[in-house]
Amino acid sequence: MILRAATLDDVPAVLAFWKIAAEDTNRSDIPEGVAALIARDPAALQLAVADGEIVGSLIAGFDGWRCHLYRFAVHPDRRRQGIGAQLLAAAEERFRGFGGRRADAMVLNDNTLAHHAWAAAGYASQDDCHRWVKSL
């Protein structure tokens, strides 16, 4: 297995992978959105690839102030093999390289599988705030 940044050629495979492995893929997961992410920050979308197939993904975005983690997903058949831990370690190292001091992740309230994964990685739920959104 290798970890590498996604390329524009990966966009269709990434979207197909998220349909299998990620939660809540019906909001903004469109080819143009993924392509825009790659164009803006070519190293943000990290992929775990084994035998030419995507088995994991994690977006590690840094806006110059905060470190954000999105689309942390591992193929259901490949979970509990350390793939997520490797992706997360690479993202955290990326953030440290930027001088980041704290990473956050948005996780759906009912995605209890993810709650366990994030807790095992040392992350804690921040219950004193709530995300506010507006579709553009």
Average pLDDT, the chain: 90
Domain count, the chain: 1
In which domain, by residue range, is 18 found?
Answer: 2-120
Residue 83 and residue 56: Cα distance in Å, rounded? 7
Phi-psi region of 68 (alpha: psi -120 to 50; beta: other; left: phi over 0): beta
pLDDT tens digit sequence for 80-118: 999 999 999 999 999 999 999 999 998 888 888 888 888
Q: pLDDT band at 79, cuts 50/70/90?
A: very high
Tokens (6 digits) for 20:
């299998």
CB atoms under 10 Å from CB of 53, counted, come to: 12
Q: What is the CATH number of the domain that holds 52?
A: 3.40.630.30
Residue 100 lies in a domain: yes
Q: What is the pTM of this model?
A: 0.88
